């Protein structure tokens, strides 16, 4: 059989990393596939200093790769939405298989892309789109395919995890640690996608789809960032035996699917609470297997390239019979469920509340009375003692609650904020036991 020809679109960190892995491990890859896999065409605006691609054909136009009749598999590694979407759809229209690391593309346009691929009987693989070098897509689609997945939760953005880790370990404010992350290259000049949860929501959308057999629905994912998490919140959480992590959580219930990214208090004894720095981790609960944990590097040239090349190998193995490939979203196309994604107002959660209240008699009683009126049970309270008895001094009152519906908590918080002795907004962080 003739060699499998690869066309790489984008020679950035992941693109060049994939090129080097394919070259460096070519013998091992051939042993695994029984096929020779070669890079025949690269599209990039320029070859950067230190990049050596040998005598491989190089084009400035990514669409030249999609139109190249000699290319069997197109690697879409340019990122973004519009150009990437057009490139992938054109490659599919030309009967080429596609491998992508583009989580935004899959989360937003995946339904359209997978439908087009099905009609042309080609494969679109996207392992590298979620959690870098952790093979979480393959684990859910294949290794856990005998299970009803009940829930999954993950630290799936390394930048946010680095920031919260540094805030905890060095008692540094969010703004200072964000600048540090930018200086180290972990965060972009515009960090919105990372710190506001958009990047994690792209990834969670994909994981939820393959876990529960639902269409991709990024527009229904709830996202909340970490920019409002304070040193005080991290310290108080620690005093109560918890850590704050920026989690993506997807859970299936009788009411529907929870699809949410937000700061979350979890027990410091939970394994995922001890995942620090830029590392990623995903917990998956299946009805047969129970809880499982997947941990590793969530980004970087070599870890992400590892996932890209693993997809190339999988596609190469199915080239002769692509109809036998595992469905893109793990379930057969006609078997996807129409179960609805719940709005955040309908989720049930425990809560951490930080209330800034004046040092006046009866304030805590007023707060607890309001919570009681809404049938919200209190699990723990920390009331900081004043340095001096100044009635105008604002003190922190920390309350952990039992489970309650979000919409009810919203009403209770509104009533608490209306108290004359309460200053400013109530800080609210959801809690999760990460159990059944």
Hey, which residues are catalytic here?
203
Q: Report the distance separating Cα 243 and Cα 267, nearest Å.
A: 6
- Outline where 319-402 has alpha helix (H): 363-373
Closest CA to 7 of 111, 110, 78, 81: 78
Strand partners, 266: 243
- Where b means 16+ CB within 10 Å and e means fewer, 12-26 reads ebbbbbbbbbbeebe
Closest CA to 204 of 274, 151, 245: 151
Q: Is 299 left (phi over 0), alpha (psi -120 to 50) or beta?
A: beta
Q: Is 290 exposed, middle or buried (0-12, 13-18, 19+ CB in 10 A)?
A: exposed
Q: Report the distance separating Cα 163 and Cα 176, nearest Å.
A: 9
C-alpha distances in Å from residue 135, one per residue of 14, 290, 297, 397: 16, 18, 11, 43
DSSP per position, 48-68 = PTT---TT-EEES-HHHHHH-
Reading the block at residue 47, the tokens are 């070859």
Closest CA to 262 of 432, 433, 76: 432
DSSP per position, 253-321 = -SS-EEEEEEEEEEETTSGGGG--TTEEEEEEEETTTEEEEEEEE-SSHHHHHHHHHHHHHHHHHHTT-
Phi, psi at residue 305, to the nearest 5°? -60, -35
Contact 181, 278 (CB under 8 A): no
C-alpha distances in Å from residue 43, one per residue of 9, 23, 76, 127, 142: 5, 17, 10, 21, 32
Contact 23, 30 (CB under 8 A): no
């Amino acid at each position: 059989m003739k060699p499998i020809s690869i066309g790489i679109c984008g020679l950035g960190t992941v693109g060049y990393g994939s090129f080097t892995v394919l070259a460096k491990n070519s013998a091992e890859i051939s042993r695994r596939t029984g096929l020779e896999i070669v890079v025949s065409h690269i599209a990039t605006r320029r070859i950067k200093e230190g990049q050596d691609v040998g005598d491989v054909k190089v084009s400035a136009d990514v669409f030249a790769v999609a139109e190249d009749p000699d290319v069997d598999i197109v690697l879409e590694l340019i990122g973004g939405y519009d150009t990437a979407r057009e490139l992938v759809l054109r490659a599919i229209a030309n009967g080429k298989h596609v491998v992508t690391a583009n989580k935004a593309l899959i989360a937003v346009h995946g339904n359209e892309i997978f439908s087009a691929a099905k009609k042309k009987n080609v494969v679109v693989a996207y392992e590298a789109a979620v959690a870098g070098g952790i093979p979480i897509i393959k684990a859910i689609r294949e290794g856990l395919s005998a299970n009803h997945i009940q829930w999954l939760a993950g630290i799936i953005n390394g930048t946010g995890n680095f920031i919260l880790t540094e805030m905890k370990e060095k008692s540094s404010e969010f703004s200072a640690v964000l600048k540090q992350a930018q200086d180290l290259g972990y965060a972009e000049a515009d960090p919105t996608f990372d710190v506001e949860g958009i990047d994690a929501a792209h990834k969670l959308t994909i994981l939820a789809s393959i876990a529960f057999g639902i269409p991709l629905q990024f527009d229904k994912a709830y996202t909340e960032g970490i920019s409002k998490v304070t040193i005080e919140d991290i310290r108080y959480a620690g005093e109560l035996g918890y850590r704050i992590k920026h989690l993506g959580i997807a859970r299936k219930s009788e009411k529907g699917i929870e699809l949410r990214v937000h700061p979350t208090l979890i027990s410091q004894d939970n394994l995922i609470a001890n995942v620090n720095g830029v590392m990623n981790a995903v917990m998956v609960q299946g009805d047969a297997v129970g809880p499982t944990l997947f941990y590793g590097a969530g980004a970087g040239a070599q870890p992400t390239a590892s996932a890209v090349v693993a997809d190339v190998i999988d596609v190469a193995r199915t080239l002769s019979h692509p109809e036998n490939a595992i469905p893109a979203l793990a379930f057969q196309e006609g078997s996807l469920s129409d179960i609805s994604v719940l709005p955040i107002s309908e989720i049930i959660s425990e809560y951490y509340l930080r209330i800034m209240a004046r040092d006046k008699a009866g304030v805590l009683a007023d707060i607890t009375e309001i919570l009681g009126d809404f049938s919200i049970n209190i699990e723990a309270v920390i009331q900081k003692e004043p340095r001096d008895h100044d009635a105008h001094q604002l003190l922190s009152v920390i309350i952990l609650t039992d489970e309650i519906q979000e919409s009810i908590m919203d009403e209770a918080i509104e009533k608490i904020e209306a108290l004359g002795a309460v200053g400013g907004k109530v800080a609210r962080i959801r809690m999760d036991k990460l159990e059944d």
